[in-house]
Amino acid sequence: MTSTPAFFNLGALTSKDGDLDKVAITDLGTGHERRFSYSDFEAQANAVARALSQRGLARGDRVAILSSNRFEYLTTVHGIMRAGLVAVPVNFKFPPATIDYIVCDSGAKLVFCDAPRLASAPKDLLRICFDGDAGADGFEAFLNLGPFTPVTPADREPAMFLYTSGSTGRPKGVVLSHQSHIWVVEQRMAAQDMSRHRFLVAAPLYHMNALAMSQLAHAAHATVILLPQFTTQLYLEAIEDYRCTWLTAVPPMIAMMLNDKERFAATDLSSVEYLRMGSAPVSQSLMDAIHRALPKAAVTNAYGTTEGGPVVFGPHPQRLPQPDMSVGYPHPKVQVRLIGDDGKPSNAGVLEMKSPAIMNGYHNRPDVPSPITADGFYVTGDVFRRDENGFHFFVGRTDDMFVSGGENIFPGEVEKMLESHPDVIQACVVPVDDDIKGTKPVAFVVKREGSDLDEAKLKAFSLANAPAYQHPRSIWFVDSLPLASTNKLDRKTLRDMAAERLQQKTKSTAAATPGHGARADG
């Protein structure tokens, strides 16, 4: 175990004892490599904080960021928080109306952006462009170089608003305090000295997965290799070129990497020591493939939420080996409970958790019932089961669950079953309307190259390995599955695709049926 420094402001995580000349960030986001030391980071973060303070912003005012991953993104987030303001990273993949809604809802006083996102930034706000394009104030001119003493936040004072994806309605601003995510950093640093590691960050910084990992790496005085976005080519090249030791990703990103067989086979991955996956379920077949590809790496199937933070589960206190499909044993400083359908604690049910990382609440949403119980537990909406050793296993989200003929179906369970077939790489199950069952499951599947697997064979496999009500009534094979802006599977797009395909199938069947405009005699 290692001791951790005492932090007080989430924007001030640079070690006072570390080598300030060490490379903090290698930025690959602007078309060429840019290397920045911890000294560079400190200078720019302080310059952002000084400039914002001199603009007359009041303590607690919000400042939005609309940009792809880059060095300036992280220094700006830290500078905002150092100045006692609230950072609001915005998902730039949202449509313009949603971006406008988030910026307006947050009450942002100004917005930082890069050149490609300048047109998406609300024009009635002051816009600071990282690239200094015409039509907005330039970042370099905005900066005010010099020292800055970070603000000491009050208890539970907001540091960040992270807006949820909005897949089930308007995005909600999750209010996170300085103390909540300083606690996260400190818990994750306590396990080992991470300063020697090179962290590869490719997920978008507006998402908790990437932002929290970047904060951890910075506090640990490690080096971040920062990609502008995820593509298998950029990801694999970065691992080899920079000898990355620590990867963080969502499972679909890793599945796409493994499926890029030619490039994958040609890449030296021997530097990888840790792979932490989170934000989406992982299948046994994917886990097996990862172990084959990275036999020396410690692979963690992690769990966390924006509202409750990424520290929930960890190793077993008796050092029992963690089952591949488990997210681990409850962290010693986190209380968890599973609540069954009867509202009582159970070995299977909705996860409720309590820790210092839990959000303050949702910003400006009195219409949304608080998911925090009277005794301080956050109700995640995620269904888990617990085994006899206390290990927890993700089953599915309550809002993904659908009912088919009176039976509850969690897509994740069906996907894991499909992915246990040796020729299936990835699967996504979505519901479609059905006149008799109400809804029924259908599936999109990525199969192994060269496989002769067809719909009939995979349906037969499903019926042999799961309850009949779970088997997909239609299966479509695709080259890849679409990802949403958070790099999770885009279930909404797939639901729309399924409905359209079934509608076309119905039309084709009707056209070929006698009496519906098609000749029976051919």
Going through 236-388 in order, the beta strands assigned E by DSSP cover 246-249, 274-277, 298-301, 313-314, 326-330, 335-339, 348-354, 361-363, 378-386
Determine, yes or no, domain membership for 486. yes
Determine, yes or no, domain membership for 240. no
Domain count, the chain: 1
Determine, yes or no, domain membership for 62. no
Question: How many angstroms separate the CA atoms of 88 and 446, rounded?
Answer: 36
pLDDT-derived band at 516 (thresholds 50, 70, 90) equals very low
Question: How many angstroms separate the CA atoms of 102 and 41, rounded?
Answer: 28
- Global confidence as pTM: 0.82
Determine, yes or no, domain membership for 429. yes
Q: What is the CATH classification number for the domain harbouring 500?
A: 3.30.300.30
Report the mean per-residue pLDDT for the chain.
89
Q: Which domain holds residue 499?
A: 402-511
Determine, yes or no, domain membership for 409. yes
Q: What pLDDT sits at residue 466?
A: 84
Q: What pLDDT sits at residue 517?
A: 43
Determine, yes or no, domain membership for 19. no
Q: What is the pLDDT of residues 234-261, one digit of tens each?
A: 999 999 999 999 998 877 788 888 888 8
Determine, yes or no, domain membership for 516. no
pLDDT: which is higher, 281 or 489? 489
pLDDT exceeds cutoff 60 at 5: no
Mean pLDDT of 413-420: 88
- Classify the C-alpha dihedral 162-164-170-175 as positive or negative: negative
Rounded to 5°, the CA angle 240-243-245 comes to 120
Q: What is the pLDDT of residues 130-168, one digit of tens each?
A: 987 555 689 999 999 999 999 999 999 999 999 986 545
Determine, yes or no, domain membership for 284. no
Mean pLDDT of 466-486: 86
pLDDT exceeds cutoff 90 at 274: yes
Q: What pLDDT sits at residue 522?
A: 28
Say if residues 21 and 37 touch (Cβ distance below 8 Å). Answer: yes
Mean pLDDT of 1-25: 85
Span of 93-102, 128-137, 341-350, 473-482 with lowest mean pLDDT: 128-137
Span of 44-58, 71-85, 165-179 with lowest mean pLDDT: 165-179
For β-strands 298-301 and 313-314, DSSP reports them as: unpaired
Question: How many angstroms separate the CA atoms of 123 and 297, rounded?
Answer: 47
For β-strands 402-404 and 407-409, DSSP reports them as: antiparallel
End-to-end CA separation in angstroms for the chain: 77
How distant, in Å, are the alpha carbons of 199, 445, 485, 492 from that of 482? Answer: 26, 11, 10, 10
Mean pLDDT of 96-110: 93
Q: What pLDDT sits at residue 137?
A: 83
pLDDT-derived band at 30 (thresholds 50, 70, 90) equals confident
pLDDT exceeds cutoff 90 at 25: yes
String of b and e for 134-153 (b: at least 16 CB within 10 Å)?
eebeebeebbbeeebebbeb
